[in-house]
Amino acid sequence: MNINVVGSGYVGTTLAACLADLGHDVTAIDIDEDVVAELNAGRAPIHEPGLDELVAEHAGENLRATTSYENVAEADATFLAIQTPSREDGSIDVAPLEAAAEMTGDALADAEDDHLVIVKSTITPPKIDAVRDAVAEGAGEAAGRVEVATNPEFLREGTAVEDFLDPQKVVFGTDSEWAGAVLEDIYAPLLADHDAHVVRTDPETATMIKYANNAFLATKISLINDLGNVCKEFGIDAYEVADAIGLDDRIGERFLRSGVGWGGSCFPKDVAAIIAAARESGYDPAVLEAAVEVNDRQPERLLELFDEHVDAEGKRVAVLGLAFKPGTDDTRNSRAIPVIEGLQERGADVVGYDPVATENMRDRFPGIEYVDSAGEALEGASGALVVTDWDEFGALDEEFDAMAEPVVVDGRRIVDRREGITYEGLTW
């Protein structure tokens, strides 16, 4: 099939490259000329394992990128994979998505053939009408049938390609059998090879499934963090407890890693958005509010543990890990941000290290020192705070010997307790 993917960020680029890999003819549209140039040069504009290879394989063949909406109508369907950032009150800002929907609608004004516009972005159910209206504004009079569907995405950053190509479920939110059939056709090559559950529902329920999924996972982590904090008070290892409760398949062993909390572009944004949407409709989702509160507290707890061992004022302090999780260069809502802020408030000279996320964090904190290895960060440091569970931190050994004050406060249980360092785990 001939498919457009509008927006070439984390989701859009993965989607475009994977659809090309499934044999579709894909046009990636982005307003950012640099992003388009990168894609056309055969490189992924973002860091994601396996993505560069896919883009390199298909660019110039069945994957091309452009800043123009001119040929949108030539395709059978257009995915919208545009950012839906948080506004101050936690609700999502759909203006960028509406703008892209409007441009897509305009480009479909004279469409002779049927065309499905598929919202990949995460939007709260009440906002879908805004996208429908934006598309209809331009395409309302089109000769062909133009409809809006939702198809939320469950991929994780760091394993985006793998998750997209081997999903546990795909969710089709459509208003008609025709729209459902278009989505079936798009996913047919993937579903032929993988045993994924297919959930067919209406557009609003589909996006609610997405929010419920993220809210549940984020709350699961906050609950284990809450319990982990209790464990720490009692001198009990929360990981031993989590391993045991995870054996009960009603609980499940995954997403029970307690520590400095959830960050990233999605859990914080999506939990805030569904809380804001619920409140707007008159309901206060108390458990979700508590999940956010616990999450906000974890970095401060990490810093308080650090305070018990080191007076940071005027000292060089290492922050190991800047990305919100390993395998990505994404620092959006990384727990490293409140940790660095807390250290700065304490008057520390912060030195940060991350294998891939340094440049992104430099935009946020241009004034701190960044180094090229964990060893360099530890050299002469009065303490280290571990914020991201990059495997390489687990392999650190004699690097700790070069610290001025060998105190390690671990927010991710990645460093082993060892002779010669004072080690504190956040919940163990």
Residues that bind ligand UGA (CB under 6 A): 122, 153-157, 214, 217, 221, 255-257, 259, 261-264, 266-267, 270, 324-325
Nearer to ligand NAI, 292 or 407 (CB): 292
Site for ligand NAI (CB under 6 A): which residue of 31, 196, 199, 356? Answer: 31
Question: Measured in Å, how far apart are the chain's first and last C-alpha atoms?
Answer: 52
Residue 364 annotated as binding site: no
| DSSP-H helix ranges across 31-176 | 33-40, 51-58, 95-107, 128-139, 160-165
Q: Which positions from 130 through 169 interact with ligand NAI, judged by CB under 6 A?
A: 153, 155, 157
Interface region with ligand NAI, contact rule CB under 6 A, candidates 3-11, 137-145, 241-249, 308-316: 3-11
Query: Shortest distance, CB of residue 188 to ligand NAI, whole angstroms?
Result: 22
d(CA 58, CA 60): 6
Residue 18 binds ligand NAI (CB under 6 A):
no
d(CA 116, CA 130): 16
CB 15 within 8 A of CB 120: yes
Residue 202, amino acid: D
Residue 357 binds ligand NAI (CB under 6 A):
no
CB 242 within 8 A of CB 393: no
Could you tell me the two tokens for 404? Answer: 């001025």
Verify whether residue 266 is a known catalytic residue: yes
1 binds, among ligand NAI, ligand UGA, none (CB under 5 to 8 A by kind): none
Catalytic residue among 160, 165, 182, 266: 266
Residue 306 annotated as binding site: no
Nearer to ligand UGA, 171 or 256 (CB): 256
Query: Shortest distance, CB of residue 100 to ligand NAI, whole angstroms?
Result: 4
Cα Rg, the chain, nearest whole Å: 23
d(CA 378, CA 31): 41
84 binds, among ligand UGA, ligand NAI, none (CB under 5 to 8 A by kind): ligand NAI
Interface region with ligand NAI, contact rule CB under 6 A, candidates 99-107, 193-201, 353-361, 367-375: 99-107
| CA distances, 29 to each of 24, 33, 45, 85, 277 (Å) | 15, 10, 13, 19, 30
The site string for ligand NAI over 246-265 (x = CB under 6 A, - otherwise) reads -------------------x
Residue 83 binds ligand NAI (CB under 6 A):
yes
Residue 157 annotated as binding site: yes
Q: Which positions from 180 through 219 interact with ligand NAI, judged by CB under 6 A?
A: none
Interface region with ligand NAI, contact rule CB under 6 A, candidates 119-127, 224-232, 248-256, 282-290: 119-127
Site for ligand NAI (CB under 6 A): which residue of 17, 20, 29, 217? Answer: 29
Query: Shortest distance, CB of residue 62 to ligand UGA, whole angstroms?
Result: 25
Residue 64 annotated as binding site: no
Query: How distant is the alpha carbon of residue 407 from its chain centre?
Result: 31
**Nearest 10 degrees: Cα torsion 12, 17, 23, 28:** 50
375: number of Cβ within 10 Å: 15
Closest CA to 42 of 15, 61, 14, 70: 61
Nearer to ligand NAI, 59 or 242 (CB): 59
Query: Shortest distance, CB of residue 132 to ligand NAI, whole angstroms?
Result: 17
Provide CB contacts within 8 A for 264, sequence distance 6+: 157, 324, 325, 330, 332, 333, 334
Residue 30 binds ligand NAI (CB under 6 A):
yes
* Beta strands, E only, 67-191: 77-80, 115-119, 146-150, 169-173
Closest CA to 105 of 137, 66, 144: 137
The site string for ligand NAI over 368-397 (x = CB under 6 A, - otherwise) reads ------------------------------
| DSSP-H helix ranges across 259-312 | 267-280, 286-307
Provide CB contacts within 8 A for 178, sequence distance 6+: 114, 145, 147
Order of strands, edge to edge, in the sheet holding 405-410? 369-370, 349-353, 316-320, 382-386, 405-410, 422-425
Residue 223 binds ligand NAI (CB under 6 A):
no
Q: Which residues are annotated as a binding site for substrate?
A: 154-157, 210, 255-259, 263, 325
What are the residue numbers of the active site?
266
Residues that bind ligand NAI (CB under 6 A): 6-12, 29-32, 35, 81-84, 96, 99-100, 103, 120-122, 153, 155, 157, 265-266
Q: Which residues are annotated as a binding site?
A: 30, 84, 122, 154-157, 210, 255-259, 263, 269, 325, 332
Q: Which residues are annotated as a binding site for NAD(+)?
A: 30, 84, 122, 157, 269, 332
